[in-house]
Amino acid sequence: MNAGLLYRGLRRQRTFNPQAGWAGLFRQVLVACLVVAACLLPLTPGLTEWAAWPAWQRAGTLTGLVALGAVAYVIGLSIQGLTPRRLLSQAGL
């Protein structure tokens, strides 16, 4: 939501004008985010279950979920032909 409000404000002020290709990049990133959600949502424990676990189990589960999310994101981008290197270069990094 913050990114959307920032985008809208910058466009209204005419401070930011996206270059050609940004719509396609947005679509690719959105699809990758949906891949991450599809992978993580079925594996995420319920709040009651989570609260009952000891700290070491929560930390291990969270570490595994974050790692899985990162791998799913890279795979989601790669399937669409967008490598992390290309994503960083388009961001100017």
pLDDT tens profile 17-67: 888 878 888 898 899 999 999 999 999 999 999 999 999 999 999 999 999
CB atoms within 10 A of CB 16: 11
Position 83 scores a pLDDT of: 78
Instruction: Give the structural domain span for 59.
Output: 20-90
Which H or E run includes 62? helix 55-79
62 located within any domain? yes
| Residues in contact with 73: Cβ distance below 8 Å, sequence separation at least 6, in sequence order | 32, 33, 35, 36
At residue 35, the pLDDT reads 96
- Position 67 in a domain: yes
Domain count, the chain: 1
Alpha-carbon Rg for the chain, nearest whole angstrom, is 17
Residue 28 resides in a domain: yes
39 within a domain of the structure (yes/no): yes
In a domain, 14, yes or no: no
